[in-house]
Chain A
Amino acid sequence: MSEEHTHIVPYKTFAIVWIGLLILTGVTVVVAQYNLGAMNIWVALGIATLKSGLVVAVFMHMKYENRLFKLSLFAALAILAIFIGLNFFDVLYR
Chain B
Amino acid sequence: MSGHVHKDYTGAKFGMWLFLFTEVLLFGGLFLLYAVYLARYPQEFISAGKELNVWFGGGNTLVLLTSSLFVAISITALRRGAKTLCLRLLGSTIACAVIFMVNKYFEWNAKISHGIYPGSDHLKEMQPGEMVFFNLYYLTTGLHGLHVIIGALVIAWAMFLIKKDQVNADDWVILENAGLYWHLVDLIWIFVFPLYYLILH
Contact = CB atoms under 8 A, between A and B. Distances in A.
Real binding pair: yes
A91 B40 contact: yes
Contacts of B199: 32, 40-41, 44
Contact of A33 (B65, B79, B190, B200): B200
A80 B39 contact: no
B21 interface: yes
Interface in B68-84: 68-69, 71-73, 75-76, 79-80
B194 A28 contact: yes
Interface stretch (B8-16, B104-112, B118-126, B137-145): B8-16
B31 A60 contact: no
Interface in B185-201: 186-187, 190-191, 193-195, 198-201
Contacts of B80: 8
Contacts of B62: 22, 25
Given A1-B9, A65-B13, A84-B31, A48 B194 contact: yes
B10 A9 contact: no
B10 A59 contact: no
B99 interface: no
Interface string B41-67: 000000000000010001001100110
B76 A8 contact: yes
B191 to A, nearest CB: 5
B69 A15 contact: yes
Interface of B: 6-7, 9-10, 13-14, 17-18, 21, 24-25, 28, 31-32, 35-36, 38-40, 54, 58, 61-62, 65-66, 68-69, 71-73, 75-76, 79-80, 176, 179-180, 183, 186-187, 190-191, 193-195, 198-201
4 closest A-B pairs by beta carbon, nearest first, are: A44-B194, A32-B198, A76-B21, A35-B201
